[in-house]
Structure 1
């Protein structure tokens, strides 16, 4: 186990990559359609565009309905698209317009006849998040990694079956 100071300074990020036998265009359509996340994520079981948005664009807002670790009470998280480069990058922040808590995203890279898809998270580096990570980081990091792998493997099954 890392000494407390080292844990406090470690990156507040994680990522998982999976190769999918589908083009970046096909994968993009899936990862950028937040209304389908309930089919794939073990924690976010539905999402809805809001405030008049109906698709991915920087600044677009949606809300995700979450059940943390797949158990316990559910809650809605406000999200805003922060990066949207078709067939390359889809990222969103979780939090309010004033305070982002976490960022999630998907990077797509052509990989032979398919696409290397990387799902990642990045906590905001403020004091509250650093303290959260100090206390729960090892557990939450493993949970996030397992959830990202599950999400990507479920997406892979769909894109490879349908295309």
Structure 2
């Protein structure tokens, strides 16, 4: 198993005018978060259907005509603070870790989305072939910015 890289490979932040509890309920719901993502098309719970350590969900992804699925396992779940999961290929290869942190700020809530790529070197050519993306770090940075902007719009427009 590949250890988490010390430094994240992609990170983004956004301030949302909403309470931490409301935003945490969103980021800890992968089914809902799929609505805001660029590559992630849909998610479904494979186990409990609740955000808790050990819960599993599948993700259906797309990039152009390419399609692939992953299996994710919740590895951290601290209500009102952090939700994190690891991502594996159908071949059980660990490829990344995603994490959402929420904290209170005077303007509402600060959300930080972080990714650590954990793709083993031998799998990189396969990952590029499957996803069609040679610059995974660059794409993840762009996708994080888009996801957070969409989350902000969803939460703030839902409150008006």
Q: TM-score range by the shorter chain?
A: 0.7 to 0.9
Is the aligned partner of 1:48 residue 2:44?
yes
In the TM superposition, what is the alpha-carbon distance from 1:28 to its structure 2 partner? 0.6
How far the C-alpha of 1:38 sits from its partner, in A, is: 2.7
**Is the CA contact 2:94–2:119 (under 8 Å) kept in the aligned structure 1?**
no
Note the aligned Cα RMSD (angstroms). Answer: 2.9
Which runs of no fewer than 5 residues in structure 1 stay unpaired?
1-8
| Number of matched pairs | 150
**Alpha-carbon distance in 2 for matches of 1:10, 1:54:** 30
Contact 2:71 2:88 in 1 (8 A): yes
Distance in 2 (CA, whole Å) between partners of 1:75 and 1:100 is 15
CA 1:74/1:99 → structure 2, altered by over 3 Å: closer, same or farther? closer
Q: Which has more helix, going by share of residues?
A: 1
The counterpart of 1:64, out of the listed 41, 55, 59, is 59
Alignment of 1:1-163 (within 5 A): 11=7, 13-51=9-47, 53-67=48-62, 70-95=63-88, 99-124=93-118, 126-128=120-122, 139-163=135-159
Cα gap change, 1:60 to 1:139, in 2 (>3 Å): same
Q: What is the TM-score with the length of structure 1 in the denominator?
A: 0.80
TM-score (norm 2): 0.82
The CA distance in 1 between the partners of 2:13 and 2:146, in whole Å, is: 11
Maintained 8 Å contact 1:48/1:62: yes
Q: Is the 8 A contact 1:13 1:123 kept in 2?
A: yes
148-157 or 35-44, larger mean C-alpha shift: 35-44
Q: Which runs of 5+ in 2 are unaligned?
A: 127-132
- Pick the structure with greater CA Rg: 1
